Every structure is written in C-alpha cells, then in structure tokens.
Amino acid sequence: MIILSDADVEKLLDMGEAIDAVEDAFREYAEGNVVMPARSTIMVPRYNGSISFMPSYLTGLDAQATKIISIYPDNKEKGLPTTVAWIVVNDPETGLIEAFMDATYLTAVRTGAVTGVAARYLAPEDARVAAVFGAGVQGRTQAWAACMVRDIERVYIYDLVEEARERFAEEMTGKLGVEVVPAESGEEACRDADIVLTATTSPKPVIRRGWLKDRVHVSAIGAFYPDWRELDTATVAGSKLVIDDYEGIMLEAGDVLIPIAEGAMTEDHIYAELKELVSGRKVGRTAEDGVTVFKSVGIAIQDSSVANLVLNKLRG
C-alpha cells in the first residue's frame, strides 16, 4: 500500500493539471460514467464540527476513492487547520486498498481546481482583477486557479484578520507573480474585481450586490451548511447561477436555499450544473451576461480524479 503525506502530494500536484483532471471528471459525470453515493456527514455540535465521508468511482477512468474530511471552524483559534482530510484509494479490480494519502492539501487544490473549471466557462475573457475573501489555504488555491485560467494582473485579498491579509499578500505575490493587495474592506476588494472568490467560514454574507461590478463572475466555496451563506440574496437572485451538483446544493448550500426560502427565487433560477457546461449541453458566459455565480459544496469526483492524477504521476 502506498502512503503519501501532504508534503508528498504537494510535490506531485500542479494546479493546471488538477483543473484539467477535475474538468475531465465532470465530463465523465455528464456522460453517466460516475458512481457517487450522497455524502454522509456526522455533525459534532459539542465541538462545532463535522466529519463527512465521500466515496466515488469514475468508471471511465477506473478511479475509485473515498475521502474522509473534517471541518472544524473553531480550530483556527487553536492554531490548527479548520479542514483536515484523508483519502483511501481502492483498486477497483480487487477492492484492495491501493493507497492512503493525506488529503488536506489535495482538498484545497481540488477545490481551487473546480473554481478554475467554472471560471473557464463563466468568467469574462478579459478578466484582469480578482478579489479573494478568506486568507486561508483555500483562499490561496482559489487565487492560484483564477490565475491559471485568466490573465490576472492584480489580486485583492480581504480577511477579518489584518495580519492574515498581509501574510497572504506577501506570500502569494511571490507564488503567483502578480500584484496582491490587502484590502481594508470587502467593498474595497470588490470595487475593481472581474472575478470574486469567497473561501470563508462565515455563516453570514461577506459579499453585497452593491459592491460588485455590472459584469463579474463570483465563485462561492466556503459556506457548507444550509443556514450558512457567503453571498447576499440580491447577488444570487440577480445572477446566472451555476452549481456543482444539484443534490448536494439542495441539501447543503445556504447560498441557494436561503434566497429560495425568502421567496426571492425558485429552484428554476439554477441555470445549469457544471457538468452541463463542460459537456457543451449548455453555454457558459455570453455577451449579455452580467453577474455569473458558481456555487460549490464539493463533490467526491473531484477527489477521486485528483487522487488518480497524483498516483499516475507517482508511477510515472
């Protein structure tokens, strides 16, 4: 059995390759070449956390994996990561465990990768400025992915913690080779942004429609409970809305469920699942589109496809 640490995975995993792998997985999903039971989550209210189990099998790629992921927002106060994950890879032919890998870094990259896939289809072609909300690991991979699919020249970073903003700006300027600027407010971060990326653990909106340009793409990946959301109702209800997966969204995505509950929109407001854009069954951004929103709660095929990519690179 192969055992890989986060450091091992980081050496093998490139964002550009991860974006392509995740796009391929959604294409397989569109073609019906996926077995993916619903995510099973155990809530741990005593410690304000959750532990989820995410199995999937990409039959066309013969890639099977199960991710176990814990999300504990209060870990930040303990100096621990809020999101920690592991992946178990089985050999589809025999069922034997083929690999066990730390998936904390992999989860951050695959989450950035799905944002990158969505931006390929929904972000303005001439996007040059991005705004990131949340200066954690997920925020870093969101910025990385945006720079892979558009010619980004400047990134604004906003976080409630000033020190985190400054650290993010210093680190990511070097990594991305673009200007990264700490913003003093969410409104300042959004003012010039063509792409807005939210990766926070906030249960309340961090984005207001009035802050956004008329022509902008928004990707929200941070809120993962039915009563949490990062985007206000006006942003979602006034957008061309694309989601990663209908079943997961209707169970977990407060960004979509709350505006529906408020009567601001219906389920029919959802324009497409991402697989429909990837497969060409529906078009992405058009010249008439103003605000596009991609909402993701994360699905298991992202993990199995990227884990498969890691193992294939390891084997050479």
Question: Which residues are catalytic, by number?
Answer: 67
Quick one: tokens of 283?
Answer: 């078009």
HSE, CB side, 13 Å, CA atoms: give it for residue 281: 12
| CA atoms of 241 and 225, how far apart (whole Å) | 18
